[in-house]
Every structure is written in structure tokens, then in C-alpha cells.
């Protein structure tokens, strides 16, 4: 046995050293009324780069529900109780937990409604630290103020229940001041989920007014602001319902950015699906031509995401976690790879479902197959494997397209960026020819070598399997002043299905 000692174990990652490259740089588009902007943003300063959840909180995006309005309920005492009579109020909260606000028993000295109401309010307030509610009493009416985190949940139904004994009588009113949900809590959730999955990510967060028509031009605005650095976006459209046409609109913006040499490889789209009772009514995204747009329709079903869905009244989705997964992945990797991309924290996204509030466990396998065939992204479970995983990395285009998956777009866009960087210095450079007007071997070799510099690095990083650069020496560069370089890429494959042939034999 070793002598007693003090043992030091050195930690890793505490300094948050930046990642190399720029593949992890992401953007998040959020829509809100101008009056609801966090303190770090304004109508003249709509975009901010953050590197952590703490950065977001320092800039005013907090999960303290301070921007919410608390709902209230009332009880009007019409008949006072006698000594020993009791009154108890309970509240069933947004998580389905029944909160007991305390039992009030009439004391002999409390002989009027005013005295009994004040004493009852005092009982409730004595338990505020336990149940989170507060109470006041005025004339004959007890007013109970619920915690702000309950949002819109108390605005419908009958969450309050009163139990009386003896002579007590009165009227319970469920919804007096309607609750207003916290916007910041939802924004904080997506940012927290992004950094939970990709702790070393960089996230540009942009806030924009809710438009009359969604064109998603905000993606271009943010990409230009970043100097073309953003590689993938999340767009949270919570102010309006999901629409497949939005994916086409997103693709239009991405195509413009391609021409500006500022490609955005992937835009993850999350919108409100609460009104969609039947998920099979969702459109087939394979009929679109939006290769850079993907629809995320999953949602946490047992943690904070599920709570926010009930209290916010709109789909939350797993947009933040999906964006984090794309940011974490190599450009060649499918975010549905279980070995690397477990989206469950053990609590958040451990029980999963869909953004219309349906649990995964309530959806048949045939419906899941349909949604997968229609190219939606959602979380699933595997038998015998703990955790939650995305079904695939679909984009809104036919499965036969070369760009049917997020990694296809990210790989080719990275190659394009690399080749562009390798060749841009040689615009208007001289092209030395042979006497017959064909390109000299040395000219061809130079351009082929230059075009492959960054592609070589992609191969070393296991982002490409192979590539080939060729230049036709007979092309007429004198007449056209154009040299055509052909680049062929062999991508990294993805094992979307593993077939195992297994059986018995008499010998091996």
C-alpha cells in the first residue's frame, strides 16, 4: 500500500481552447417583436457572436423567466368558516405535479372573512419556497400568483382545486390574469442545447422582427456580417406554423450565398407543429429541391423541452441540439452516427417525441418509416443502446440527389472553399502555352497542384476518400481567357444499413 499523499488529477478542456478551422461556426436566427429583444441586442445591433451559454446570459438571454407574466387565480369567500373548519387549495402544474398550497384551519380568534382570508394567505406564503406560489387577500378575495415559469399553461383548464370543510363557501376562478410565457427561456434552451452538444462551438445569434412573409433573408444578412464564416444555421420559426415552402425559400438564399463565395452548407429549420395532429399529413420533402435545408421535427418529451412546450404553447423542437451536432461533426460525418452523437444528457432528450407533443413511444414504426422516407430529421431510440439518436441527416431533396444528406453538402462546400482559397490568388495570372497554343505541362502541373492543397488536407482529416484534378491542355485559353479545372471527389461513405448474413453450419 502506498504512503498517504495528496494526489492531483489534471483536468482537460477548462481553458476552452479554440478549435482549429471554421467548420464548427454556426448561426441561429430567432424572430421576435422589437420590444422583446434581450439587453445585448437592439434594432441597430441585431447580431452577436457568443462562445458559451454564459456569454448568452451576460447579453441578457436568461432562463430566469423574468420576461414572463405570472398567471393568477382567485377565490372569493362568500361564507366564512367556523372554528376548526378547513380550506385547502391545490395547483396541478405544467409538469402534472400537484402542488399543495397548504391547509388553513380556522382559529377561534379568526371570526370574520377578513381575518380568515388574511390567515389563509399567510399559510400559502409560508410555503412559497416549497410550492412557488404567493397569495394576497383583499376584502373577500384571495388572489394566488403562480410562478412565472408556468407561462400560458394555467390559462386554460382547471389547474386549481379547492377543498372545504364546515361552513366555508365561495367561488373559485381559474384564470384571472392570463400567464404570458418567457421568450428568453426558449431562446436560452436552444443556445444551451447547442453548447451542450458542442461545448467549443461559436454561435452567431441574430434577432429579427417577425416578418409578414418569411423570406429568410436574415441568413444572408448574418453570413455577410460574419464575413462568410458561418457554416451551418438554425432557424427557429416559432411565430408561425411549419410550411414546406419555407425550405424552398431557405434554399434560394443559400444559392445566392453560393454565388457570393460565402456558402452555407446546412440550414436546420424548426417551426410550430403543435396543430399537426397527424404527422403523416406532413409534406414529402423529397419532392423539393432544397438540398441545403433540413426540417427538424423532434422534441424532448420528458425534460425541459417538454416543459417549455406546455408553458410556451408552441413547438420547441430539438433545433439547438441538432445544430450542435452538425457543429460537432466532421463535414463527412452523419449526425445520426450513434457512436459519436448521443443527443441524450441522461435527462434532456432522453425521453423523446415530436414537436406536436406526441411521444415517440406512441408512434407506430410504419409512421416513423414514413417520416424518414419523407426526409424529416427526428430523434429515435435503438433497442439495447442507451441514449437518443437522430434518424438521419436528410435534406429536402430527392434521395437520389448527390446532395441528399447534410454531410454531402458540407463536404463539397468545404472542398469548394478550399479550392477557391487555393486559386483566387491566380485570377488574371499568365498562362504559358506551347507553340501550338496548348497549355504547357508546367502550367497544368502548377494549377493542378494548387487546386489540391486543401483537398490533400481533407484527405488527411478523413473528410474525403480521394480526389482528382485534371486540366485539358487543348482548351482555347487565348480566345476565352478561361482555364477550366476539373475536380472529382470521392467522399467518405456512410453505413446507413448493415446487412449481416448469419446462419448455422456443420463446420468452420
**In terms of Cα–Cα distance, which of 314, 376, 381, 388 is closest to 346?**
388
One DSSP character per residue, 375-408 reads T-B-EEEETTEEEEEES--B-EE-TTSTT-BHHH
Q: How far apart are CA 124 and CA 102, in angstroms?
A: 6
Cell of 72: 393568477
Q: Element (H or E) spanning 420, and its range?
A: helix 406-423
- The whole-number average pLDDT for the span 35-51 is 95
- The whole-number average pLDDT for the span 484-493 is 95
> Cβ distance 182 to 65 under 8 Å?
yes
- The whole-number average pLDDT for the span 100-107 is 97
pLDDT at position 26 = 98
Q: How far apart are CA 56 and CA 500, in angstroms?
A: 47
CA angle 405, 408, 411 (to 5 degrees): 145
pLDDT at position 33 = 87
pLDDT at 190 over 70: yes
Taking CA atoms, 308 is separated from 37, 157, 167, 240, 464, in Å, by: 19, 18, 40, 17, 41
pLDDT at 12 over 60: no
**Cell numbers 405544467: residue:** 94
HSE-CB at 215 with a 13 A cutoff on CA atoms is 7
pLDDT in tens, 281-293: 999 999 999 999 9
pLDDT at position 134 = 98
> Cβ distance 72 to 135 under 8 Å?
no
pLDDT at 11 over 70: no
Q: How far apart are CA 75 and CA 484, in angstroms?
A: 80
pLDDT in tens, 135-178: 999 999 999 999 999 999 999 999 999 999 999 999 999 999 99
Strand pairing partners for 202? 25
pLDDT at 8 over 80: no
Cell of 18: 479554440
pLDDT at 15 over 60: no
Residues whose CB falls within 8 Å of the CB of residue 492, separated by 6 or more in sequence, listed in order: 332, 333, 407, 411, 462, 463, 464, 465
Kindly list the structural domains of the chain, giving each domain's residue range(s) and its CATH number in brackets, ordered by start. Answer: 31-65+182-397 (no CATH), 72-177 (2.60.40), 428-490 (no CATH)
**Cell numbers 504559358: residue:** 432
Burial label, 217 (beta-carbon count in 10 A; 0-12, 13-18, 19+)? middle
pLDDT at position 354 = 98
One DSSP character per residue, 244-269 reads THHHHHHHHHHHHHHHTT----EEEE
Burial label, 67 (beta-carbon count in 10 A; 0-12, 13-18, 19+)? middle
Q: How far apart are CA 290 and CA 287, in angstroms?
A: 9
pLDDT at 14 over 80: no
Q: How confident is the model at residue 41 (pLDDT cuts 50, 70, 90)?
A: very high
Q: How far apart are CA 216 and CA 229, in angstroms?
A: 18
User: Residues of the chain with pLDDT > 90: what percent?
Assistant: 93
Where b means 16+ CB within 10 Å and e means fewer, 461-474 reads eebbeebebebebe
pLDDT at position 120 = 98
pLDDT at 419 over 90: yes
pLDDT at position 130 = 96
> Cβ distance 245 to 287 under 8 Å?
no
Residues whose CB falls within 8 Å of the CB of residue 291, separated by 6 or more in sequence, listed in order: 251, 395, 396, 397, 401, 403, 404, 408, 409
Q: How far apart are CA 414 and CA 25, in angstroms?
A: 13
pLDDT at position 16 = 53
pLDDT at 6 over 90: no
Terminal C-alpha separation, the chain: 49
pLDDT at 19 over 80: no
> Cβ distance 26 to 202 under 8 Å?
yes
- The whole-number average pLDDT for the span 252-258 is 97
Q: Locate all alpha helices (DSSP H) within 201-351, ordered by sequence.
A: 218-225, 245-259, 304-312, 319-328
Where b means 16+ CB within 10 Å and e means fewer, 93-130 reads bbeeeebebbebbbeeebeebeebbbbbbebbeebeee
Strand pairing partners for 168? none
Give the mean pLDDT of the chain. 95
- The whole-number average pLDDT for the span 371-398 is 98
- The whole-number average pLDDT for the span 218-230 is 98
- The whole-number average pLDDT for the span 246-263 is 97
Q: How confident is the model at residue 9 (pLDDT cuts 50, 70, 90)?
A: low
> Cβ distance 90 to 174 under 8 Å?
no
Q: How many CB atoms sit inside 10 A of residue 433's CB?
A: 14
> Cβ distance 301 to 351 under 8 Å?
yes
User: Residues of the chain with pLDDT > 70: what percent?
Assistant: 96
Q: How far apart are CA 159 and CA 157, in angstroms?
A: 6
CA angle 342, 62, 20 (to 5 degrees): 50
pLDDT at position 175 = 93
pLDDT at position 499 = 87
Q: How far apart are CA 57 and CA 52, in angstroms?
A: 9
- Phi first, then psi, for residue 445 (nearest 5°) are -60, -35
- The whole-number average pLDDT for the span 223-249 is 97
pLDDT at position 500 = 85
Q: How far apart are CA 345 and CA 347, in angstroms?
A: 5
Q: How confident is the model at residue 504 (pLDDT cuts 50, 70, 90)?
A: confident
Q: How many CB atoms sit inside 10 A of residue 337's CB?
A: 17
Q: How many CB atoms sit inside 10 A of residue 435's CB?
A: 6
pLDDT at 239 over 90: no
pLDDT in tens, 322-353: 999 999 999 999 999 999 999 999 999 999 99
Amino acid at each position: 500500500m502506498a504512503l498517504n499523499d495528496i494526489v492531483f488529477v489534471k483536468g482537460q478542456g477548462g481553458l476552452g481552447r479554440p478549435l482549429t478551422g471554421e467548420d464548427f461556426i454556426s448561426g441561429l436566427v430567432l424572430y421576435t417583436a422589437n420590444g422583446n429583444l434581450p439587453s445585448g441586442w437592439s434594432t441597430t445591433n441585431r447580431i452577436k457572436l457568443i462562445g458559451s451559454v454564459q456569454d448568452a446570459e451576460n447579453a441578457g438571454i436568461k432562463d430566469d423567466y423574468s420576461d414572463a407574466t405570472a398567471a393568477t387565480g382567485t377565490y372569493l369567500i362568500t361564507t366564512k368558516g367556523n372554528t376548526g373548519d378547513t380550506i385547502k387549495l391545490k395547483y396541478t402544474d405544467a409538469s402534472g405535479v400537484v402542488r399543495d398550497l397548504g391547509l388553513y384551519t380556522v382559529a377561534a380568534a379568526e371570526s370574520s372573512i377578513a381575518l380568515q382570508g388574511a390567515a389563509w394567505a399567510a399559510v400559502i406564503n409560508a410555503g412559497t419556497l416549497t410550492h412557488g406560489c404567493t397569495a394576497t387577500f383583499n376584502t373577500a378575495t384571495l388572489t394566488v400568483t403562480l410562478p412565472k415559469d408556468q407561462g400560458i399553461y394555467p390559462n386554460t383548464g382547471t389547474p386549481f382545486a379547492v377543498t372545504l370543510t364546515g361552513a366555508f363557501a365561495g367561488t373559485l376562478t381559474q384564470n384571472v390574469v392570463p400567464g404570458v410565457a418567457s421568450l428568453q427561456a426558449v431562446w436560452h434552451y436552444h443556445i444551451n442545447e447547442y453548447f451542450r452538444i458542442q461545448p467549443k462551438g461559436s454561435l452567431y445569434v441574430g434577432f429579427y422582427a417577425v416578418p409578414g412573409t418569411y423570406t429568410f433573408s436574415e441568413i444572408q444578412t448574418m453570413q455577410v456580417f460574419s464575413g462568410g464564416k458561418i457554416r451551418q444555421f438554425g432557424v427557429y420559426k416559432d411565430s408561425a406554423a411549419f410550411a414546406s415552402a419555407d425550405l424552398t425559400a431557405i434554399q434560394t438564399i443559400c444559392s445566392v450565398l453560393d454565388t457570393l463565395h460565402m456558402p452555407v452548407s446546412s440550414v436546420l429549420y424548426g417551426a410550430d407543429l403543435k396543430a399537426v395532429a397527424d404527422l403523416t399529413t406532413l409534406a414529402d420533402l423529397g419532392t423539393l429541391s432544397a438540398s441545403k435545408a433540413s426540417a427538424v421535427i423532434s422534441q424532448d418529451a420528458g425534460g425541459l423541452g417538454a416543459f417549455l412546450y406546455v408553458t410556451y404553447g408552441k413547438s420547441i423542437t430539438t433545433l439547438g441540439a441538432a445544430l450542435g451536432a452538425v457543429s460537432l461533426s466532421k463535414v463527412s460525418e452523419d449526425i445520426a452516427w450513434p457512436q459519436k452523437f448521443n443527443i441524450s444528457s441522461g435527462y434532456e432528450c432522453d425521453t423523446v417525441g415530436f414537436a406536436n407533443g406526441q411521444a415517440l413511444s406512441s408512434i407506430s414504426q410504419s409512421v416513423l418509416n414514413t417520416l424518414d422516407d419523407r426526409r424529416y430529421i427526428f430523434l429515435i431510440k435503438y433497442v439495447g443502446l442507451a441514449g437518443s439518436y437522430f434518424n438521419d441527416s436528410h435534406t429536402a431533396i430527392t434521395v437520389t440527389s448527390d446532395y441528399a444528406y447534410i454531410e454531402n453538402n458540407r463536404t463539397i462546400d468545404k472542398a469548394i472553399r478550399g479550392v477557391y482559397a487555393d486559386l483566387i490568388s491566380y485570377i488574371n495570372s499568365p498562362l504559358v502555352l506551347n507553340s501550338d497554343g496548348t497549355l504547357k505541362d508546367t502550367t497544368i502541373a502548377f494549377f493542378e497542384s494548387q487546386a489540391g492543397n486543401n483537398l490533400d488536407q481533407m484527405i488527411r482529416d478523413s473528410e474525403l476518400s480521394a480526389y482528382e484534378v485534371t486540366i485539358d491542355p487543348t482548351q482555347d485559353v487565348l480566345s476565352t481567357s478561361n482555364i477550366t479545372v476539373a475536380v472529382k471527389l470521392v467522399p467518405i461513405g456512410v453505413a446507413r444499413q448493415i446487412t449481416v448474413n448469419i446462419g448455422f453450419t456443420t463446420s468452420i
